[in-house]
C-alpha cells in the first residue's frame, strides 16, 4: 500500500537557520511527489513538485527538495528560514495511475527569533 | 496561477440541517475535483473524487448519502453535508486539477461547525 511518512511532528528552528523536513514514501514505482504548505485556517499552497528528470527541484519561497530513489525520500530544504515560514508542511504522493493523493501527517514548523 | 475558491469560508449550522459548500476553479477548467476533510492538527483525508458530469467516487468509509457531491460544470463542484451532526464539524478543503490531473490546486477551505 502507498504511504507517506513525515517522521517529525514538529520542528523548531531559529530564524536564519537552515531547514530540512523529512519525507519518505512507499510506492511500487516512482510516484509524483509534492510539498505543500498550510498556514493556520488556510488551504494548501503548492511549494514544489517532482515528476521526473533532475532530482533537485526548486520551488517557491526559496524552498527546494531532492528526490532520492535509493532512500525513497523527498526531503524539503531551505537555506535560511524566515519567521513567515512558520506553518504546517505536508509531503504528498500521487500515484501515476489513479491520480489519488496520499498526504503525510504533516510537520509543524516553528520559527524562533 | 490556478486559483480555486470555496464558499462559504466558515459556516455554523444547527444539528439536522444541511449545508452546501461550493468549490470553484476561477481561471481554469477543472476536469477533476477532490474533496478532503481535515481534523484539527491532522492531515487531509480524501473523501471523494469527482469528474465533471459523472458520479463521484467515494473513499472507503465515507457515506455518499451523507456527503453529496455534484460536479455539474468544469468550474464548479458542490459538497452538501446532509442532516449535519456535531461530529461532522471539520475543515473541508476542495482541490481541482486539469486534464493532466497530476497537480491539484487547493481551495482555502471551509470551516463547518455543527451545533
- A96 or B106: which carries more pLDDT confidence? B106
Q: Name the 3-class secondary structure at B110.
A: strand
Nearest chain A residue to B109 by CA: give it: A43
For position A43, what pLDDT does the model report?
84
> Does the CB of B6 have a partner CB in chain A at under 8 Å?
yes
Integer Cα distance of A87 and A112 in angstroms: 13
- Average pLDDT, stretch B30-47? 88
Residue B99's pLDDT is 74
Q: What percentage of chain B has pLDDT greater than the value 70? A: 97
Torsion of CA A57, A65, B94, B91, to 10 degrees: -160
Contact A36 B49 (CB under 8 A): no
DSSP A52-109: SS-SEEE-GGG-EEEEEGGGTEEEEEESS--GGG-EEEEEEEE-TTT--EEE---EEE
Name the residue in chain A with its Cα closest to that of B94: A43
CA angle B113, B30, B22 (to 5 degrees): 25
Cβ contact, residue pair B93, A44, below 8 Å: yes
Question: Concatenated DSSP letters for B23-68?
Answer: EEESSS--SEEEEEEE-TT--EEEEEEEETTSPPEEPTT--TTTEE
Q: What pLDDT is stored for residue A41 in this prediction?
A: 79
pLDDT of residue A98: 60
Of residues B36 and A31, the one with the higher pLDDT is: B36
* B contact test, residue of A7, A44, A48, A88 with most B CBs within 10 A: A44
Closest CB to A99: pick one of B42, B44, B102: B102
Mean pLDDT of chain B: 91
Each residue's pLDDT tens digit, A36-93: 999 887 888 999 999 888 999 999 999 999 999 999 999 999 999 999 999 999 999 9
Residues from chain B contacting residue A44 (CB–CB below 8 Å): 44, 93, 95, 106
Task: Give the mean pLDDT of B102-108.
Answer: 87
Q: What is the pLDDT of residue B41?
A: 75
Cβ-Cβ contacts under 8 Å, A2 against chain B: none
Whether the per-residue pLDDT at A28 is higher than 80: the answer is: no
Listed residue (B112, B104, B111, B110) closest to B3, CA to CA: B104
B:35-54 residues touching chain A, CB 8 A cutoff: 41-44, 46, 49
pLDDT at A97: 66
- How far out from the chain centre does Cα A8 lie? 12
Summarised one tens digit per residue, pLDDT across range B68-101 is: 999 888 999 999 999 999 999 999 999 998 877 6
- Residue A16 three-state SS: coil
Q: In this structure, what DSSP letter does residue B87 have?
A: G
Say whether B107 sits in a helix, a strand or coil: coil
**Is-contact A98 A44, C-beta < 8 A?**
no
Give the cell for residue B87: 461530529
Contact between B13 and B19 (Cβ < 8 Å): yes
C-beta atoms of A44 and B44 within 8 A: yes
Nearest CB neighbour to B108, from listed A43, A94, A100: A43
* B106 inside 8 A of chain A by CB: yes
Amino acid at each position: 500500500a502507498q504511504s507517506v511518512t513525515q517522521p517529525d511532528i514538529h520542528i523548531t528552528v531559529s530564524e536564519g537557520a537552515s531547514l530540512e523536513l523529512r519525507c519518505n514514501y512507499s510506492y511500487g514505482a516512482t510516484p509524483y511527489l509534492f510539498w505543500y504548505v498550510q498556514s493556520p485556517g488556510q488551504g494548501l499552497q503548492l511549494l514544489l513538485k517532482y515528476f521526473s528528470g533532475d532530482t533537485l527541484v526548486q520551488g517557491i519561497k526559496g524552498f527546494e527538495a531532492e528526490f532520492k530513489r535509493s532512500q525513497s525520500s523527498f526531503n524539503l530544504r531551505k537555506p535560511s528560514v524566515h519567521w513567515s515560514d512558520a506553518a504546517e508542511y505536508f509531503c504528498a504522493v500521487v500515484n501515476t495511475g489513479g491520480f489519488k493523493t496520499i498526504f503525510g501527517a504533516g510537520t509543524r514548523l516553528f520559527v524562533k527569533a | 496561477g490556478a486559483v480555486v475558491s470555496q464558499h462559504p469560508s466558515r459556516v455554523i449550522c444547527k444539528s439536522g440541517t444541511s449545508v452546501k459548500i461550493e468549490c470553484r476553479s476561477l481561471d481554469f477548467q477543472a476536469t477533476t475535483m477532490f474533496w478532503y476533510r481535515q481534523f484539527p492538527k491532522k492531515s487531509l483525508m480524501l473523501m471523494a473524487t469527482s469528474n465533471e458530469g459523472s458520479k463521484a467516487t467515494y473513499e472507503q468509509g465515507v457515506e455518499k448519502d451523507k456527503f453529496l457531491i455534484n460536479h455539474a460544470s468544469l468550474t464548479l463542484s458542490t459538497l452538501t453535508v446532509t442532516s449535519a451532526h456535531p461530529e461532522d464539524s471539520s475543515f473541508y478543503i476542495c482541490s481541482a486539477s486539469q486534464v493532466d490531473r497530476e497537480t491539484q490546486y487547493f481551495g482555502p477551505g471551509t470551516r463547518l461547525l455543527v451545533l
